Amino acid sequence: MMTQMESARKGTITPEARLCARKEGIPPQKLIRSLANGATVIVGKGKKATAIGSLAATKINANLGTSHEYSDTKEELAKLRSSIEAGADTVMDLSMAEQEKSLALMIENSTVPVGSVPIYGAFANKDIASVSEDEMLKSIARHLELGVDFATIHSAMLLKGVELSKKRTMPIVSRGGCFLASWMLHNGKENPLYTHFDYILELLRASDAAISIGDALRPGCLADSSDKAQLHELKVQGELVKRCHRAGVAAICEGPGHMPLSQIEKNVKLQKKLCSGAPYYVLGPLTTDIGAGYDHITSAIGGAVAASAGADFLCVVTPSEHLGLPTSEDIVDGVVAMKIAAHSADIVKFGKRERDDELSLARSKLDWGKQFSLSVNPRRASSIYNSRATSTGACSMCGKYCAIRIMQKATAKK
Amino acid sequence: MMTQMESARKGTITPEARLCARKEGIPPQKLIRSLANGATVIVGKGKKATAIGSLAATKINANLGTSHEYSDTKEELAKLRSSIEAGADTVMDLSMAEQEKSLALMIENSTVPVGSVPIYGAFANKDIASVSEDEMLKSIARHLELGVDFATIHSAMLLKGVELSKKRTMPIVSRGGCFLASWMLHNGKENPLYTHFDYILELLRASDAAISIGDALRPGCLADSSDKAQLHELKVQGELVKRCHRAGVAAICEGPGHMPLSQIEKNVKLQKKLCSGAPYYVLGPLTTDIGAGYDHITSAIGGAVAASAGADFLCVVTPSEHLGLPTSEDIVDGVVAMKIAAHSADIVKFGKRERDDELSLARSKLDWGKQFSLSVNPRRASSIYNSRATSTGACSMCGKYCAIRIMQKATAKK
């Protein structure tokens, strides 16, 4: 069996590559050249196949999954459905309770690729320090067996990085990162996901899953942004990407986090340079730390700027980030906000303005049905309009003073 | 009586200048130098005085006011209160029904400066073509008499601009702009707000109100962005700013609208260059046309980027933009989103990160009360947290797997 990357290097157009090329509106030959050098990756098999990277439209991921306190797999499945309906291109199951059961259900029920953080399984309900290296590696093997399409593996945080993080306002905010750092500090050993990276690559290669190289040291606040700890991990990510590519394994790099608007473009360019052009998967970035309750908005601001600068994959942040486990409604709000960010960036990156132009034309004709159907969330657009409809055919903001209508009359007279 | 600009040129520190300097945390001498050359303006008298411009923190304005179909001044007063509570620095009353009554009530009840678009009063319930030039000018005099602090006056749209707009997908989306353009086309005459500009300056000078030079031809969709019509009006705005400054009248320029992310910075720099550094007041810009129902988010993305690039004043867009008259809740959502954009930009423009750092420190200590109080909307943050609280002291996202807590334990052991 060959991975998508290996097939592409041989010049083979797999069914997945053909499907992704069609979805992206590019020639398959062009796509496989990008797959071959790792600038674009395909996650998911068969109909789920989704391209992420420099040639593809910006993709968004929604995080799902139970927490220790709130564990209801039915509710998580409902969230899965609503996030996909709202526009999520992939989902990650980050469950901490009944992990394997939840992941298996997600994979079975999802129509989009599913990712996970396998080591959560190794650390859940365990004394962190006593978890064995073997248990960590087995958790990866187990998630791949279950059929996960991409896996976050925090291989790039070394003891040196952990040391550098100690001076921070918020040393480590990544859950996987804190499990590993805590283990490393207690046992005085290097990160097993780094020392056993070749074995991890064998596992990934065998099931052709993509690695999402975690950013365990992603800044959790503006004060820690672009610091030595973050840049140290980014350099190690770059080294690991090279090893992935040599092994024929598709690699994505995860990134911040919290970051002032002015640092985002520089950060994206640096990631592309250090990581051989591999796709960049950012969480936000959140452009201020004061947005709790509205962090879908702070992250949409940062996400739009990051993706415009070249980031390829945006992780949804919900309004309940920093405050609690999101509800289904929170997830839809987060997905739509990030979809807007991704689309705003695709207008810049690829000139993808067809839908905007079609909607604007419908707006200029006061064709409400068409405006709704082309909107990011048709149901919400029509519900707001209908809640305050007028008899004029224009919306209740302007009613008979609708600028569009007045100009139509004014120019028709001529 | 001297205007704030004239006083500043004489080196006088007025009570308003002193108050604004204190609010902005800058020396009064520095502020008045900026007032003197028009890069910063003060709107509002006495305690309402608010600085807008290159030396001041980014300000946000909330639009209020009745529509022809929904006219309830009590509801508008409730919106006034909630928008100020949510963080609006100024409000504009854009009422089309019972206009003077509504404006007078706003001015009486507002603790922040109030702006208006006087010519709405001249055109409401009239046959557009038959409104006299005198009625237009009288509407401005009347609003100034009522005590408005700043007035949008669409003086920069000339017949040539109207002509250029005819080729657009959406010719004119500004309500004031469409009244005037319709009048100009019907009567075959130049814009009276341009031809009588010297008289308008006399009115403004006499009451020391600031002019917000309207952008009647602001692009209403991405397809029309940065086109000849927009740039023609921008050049005229630049000419008018010079005339304002010669007359000692504070001037602000209004801007887009809808604009792809990649054009925003260039647009802001151009405005600053053409308009003698006068404050730039942008509506959004909205970075995509497909966001109906979520245009507080599309505009927060554009607003953050615009303000980072130097825009000074952001107009709130609510979730019901393009769909209907906003509810009080819509306005709060819009104000908070734009507040996040403004603050994200102030971090870039002025390094104003104190509140972020304080909140991050509280977050690193799991001090929830302090996190809420420093958040952009404390009530919402605490309500989300409490709706899914846990017994662990951490939030329900991570509970006992809280990264912060795990790292605290891990490093305390050492």
Taking residue A378's Cβ as centre, other Cβ atoms within 10 Å add up to 15
pLDDT digits 0-9 by tens, B78-92: 999 999 999 999 999
Tokens at residue A367, please? 């064709």
A340, B301: Cβ pair inside 8 Å? yes
Three-class SS state of B201: helix
Question: With contact defined as beta carbons under 8 Å apart, do A25 and A35 qualify?
Answer: no
Nearest to B345 among A261, A355, A392 (CB): A261
pLDDT digits 0-9 by tens, B270-301: 999 999 999 999 999 999 999 999 999 999 99
Question: With contact defined as beta carbons under 8 Å apart, do A106 and A93 qualify?
Answer: yes
Chain center to CA of A314: 4
Band of pLDDT at residue A413, cut at 50, 70 and 90:
low
The shortest C-alpha distance from B305 to chain A (Å) reads: 8
B298, A359: Cβ pair inside 8 Å? no
Question: With contact defined as beta carbons under 8 Å apart, do A360 and B222 qualify?
Answer: yes
Determine the residue type at B87.
Answer: G
pLDDT digits 0-9 by tens, A241-300: 999 999 999 999 999 999 999 999 999 999 999 999 999 999 999 999 999 999 999 999
- The residue among A339, A332, A302 whose CA lies nearest residue A318 is A332
A410, B181: Cβ pair inside 8 Å? yes
Neighbouring residues of B208: CB distance < 8 A, sequence distance ≥ 6: B1, B2, B3, B4, B45, B250
Three-class SS state of B288: coil
Q: How far is CA A378 from CA A111, A319, A336, A364, in A?
A: 21, 21, 11, 18
Interface mutation vs chain B, best among A360, A377, A390, A414, most B CBs within 10 Å: A360
Beta bridge partners of B173: none
The shortest C-alpha distance from B46 to chain A (Å) reads: 30
A375, B336: Cβ pair inside 8 Å? no
Which run of H or E residues covers position B50? strand B50-53
What's phi and psi for B293, nearest 5 deg? 100, -20
Residue B368, chain A, CB below 8 Å: the answer is no
Mean pLDDT of chain A: 96
A294, B336: Cβ pair inside 8 Å? yes
Nearest to A381 among B293, B348, B401 (CB): B293
Which residue of chain A has the CA closest to B66? A397
- The residue among B147, B152, B148, B306 whose CA lies nearest residue B215 is B152
- The residue among A26, A58, A130 whose CA lies nearest residue A309 is A58
Nearest to B174 among A172, A377, A403 (CB): A403
Chain center to CA of A197: 23
Tokens 């989902």 appear where? Answer: A91
CA distance A273 to B403: 30
A389, B301: Cβ pair inside 8 Å? no
pLDDT digits 0-9 by tens, B313-348: 999 999 999 999 999 999 999 999 999 999 999 999
| B109 DSSP 8-state letter | H
ipTM of the complex: 0.97
Q: Could you tell me where the DSSP H helices lie in A166-308?
A: 175-187, 192-195, 197-207, 228-246, 261-274, 295-308
Residue A150, chain B, CB below 8 Å: the answer is no
Residue A262, chain B, CB below 8 Å: the answer is yes
Residue B390, chain A, CB below 8 Å: the answer is yes
The answer for B 3-62 residues in CB contact with A (under 8 A) is: none
Q: How many residue pairs bridge chain A and chain B with CB atoms within 8 Å of each other?
A: 350
Which residue of chain B has the CA closest to A373? B290
CA distance B273 to B252: 14
Nearest to A375 among B182, B290, B353 (CB): B290
Which run of H or E residues covers position A313? strand A313-315
Chain center to CA of A162: 24
B376, A186: Cβ pair inside 8 Å? no
Determine the residue type at A181.
Answer: A
Tell me what pLDDT residue B323 has: 95
pLDDT digits 0-9 by tens, A41-89: 999 999 999 999 999 999 999 999 887 777 788 888 999 999 999 999 9
Q: Domains in chain A, start-ordered, CATH in brackets?
A: 49-350 (3.20.20.540), 362-413 (no CATH)
- The residue among B331, B333, B327 whose CA lies nearest residue B376 is B333
Neighbouring residues of A298: CB distance < 8 A, sequence distance ≥ 6: A284, A286, A287, A288, A291, A317, B340, B344
Neighbouring residues of B71: CB distance < 8 A, sequence distance ≥ 6: B95, B97, B98
CA distance A263 to A260: 6
A348, B308: Cβ pair inside 8 Å? no
